[in-house]
Amino acid sequence: MQVCQTNQQVSDLVSTWRLAGKSVAFVPTMGGLHQGHLSLVEQAKQQADNVIVSIFVNPTQFGENEDFEQYPNTLKEDLKQLEALQVAGVFTPDAQQMYPDGFSTNIKAGHLAEGLCGEKRPGYFDGVVQIVHRLFEIISPDIAIFGQKDYQQLLVIKQMVSEYSLPIKILSADIVREADGLAMSTRNQYLSAKERTEAAHLYRILVQLKQDVLSNKTVDSAILNAEQSLAKHFKIDYLSVLDANTLSATTDNTTKIAILCAVFLGSTRLIDNIIFHPKQTT
């Protein structure tokens, strides 16, 4: 496994692979790796000859009073896990590599960034598409893999790739959950023991909301019931039931539904979602 710290190093490494006729899959991360990240790597290994993983905590996607300074730095352990998976390359740039003096960009997130996390975290998705586009420029992968847990982010990145006609195939990987249903997240380690037990209610409530939607309850009444349940355990940031392809209101023509949620447990923000097909009528 080759660890690259500069843009030139990683570009040269990928060029060597290209000359050998190897395809390249890319998994961008901010470190603090857990089984969810590793599942992306496993999927990437099935899709291409060589896999490269980036580890960079991107400052432009953190807002004021967010946890940029506290975000876990577990690089040594992250590298051990990636080496165990026989990853071909890891890119660990610093901010100067990503945003050198004089760097500017006009990359902006599209309309799918409106609402949900885009509303609650202004500027967040602009920061996401800027760093992802930058990494794509440097690495030029054939395939890039993102987790479904950040579902709006996944759609925003797909939109960016389409808008800029980038020759990169974007794939998603299913959410990896703990035994009690909590979606794996680097931020879960912020939870106290009591909060960690309480956090398991989130997925259970979303599963019930899905069942309510499928049982033909109105979306508004189903959401109201779920909000009442969530409020017993969490501070709700948002809870929405939307068309999973457009992030707009569901219609009779909706083929896939997204339940999207963000809540606070103490000071920790948790996000989760369930994507499913509406009940088919005959």
- Clarify whether 37 is annotated catalytic: yes
Distances (CA, A) of 270 to 3, 93, 170, 174, 217: 31, 27, 24, 17, 26
Q: CA-to-CA distance for 180 and 197, rounded, in angstroms?
A: 9
Closest CA to 30 of 131, 151, 105: 131
Is residue 44 within 8 A of residue 63, CB to CB? The reply is no
Q: Considering 34, 37, 111, 133, which one is annotated as catalytic?
A: 37
Closest CA to 112 of 239, 263, 206, 243: 243
Q: Cβ contacts of residue 208 below 8 Å, gap of 6+?
A: 225, 226, 229
User: DSSP secondary-structure letter at 32?
Assistant: -
- Residues with catalytic roles: 37
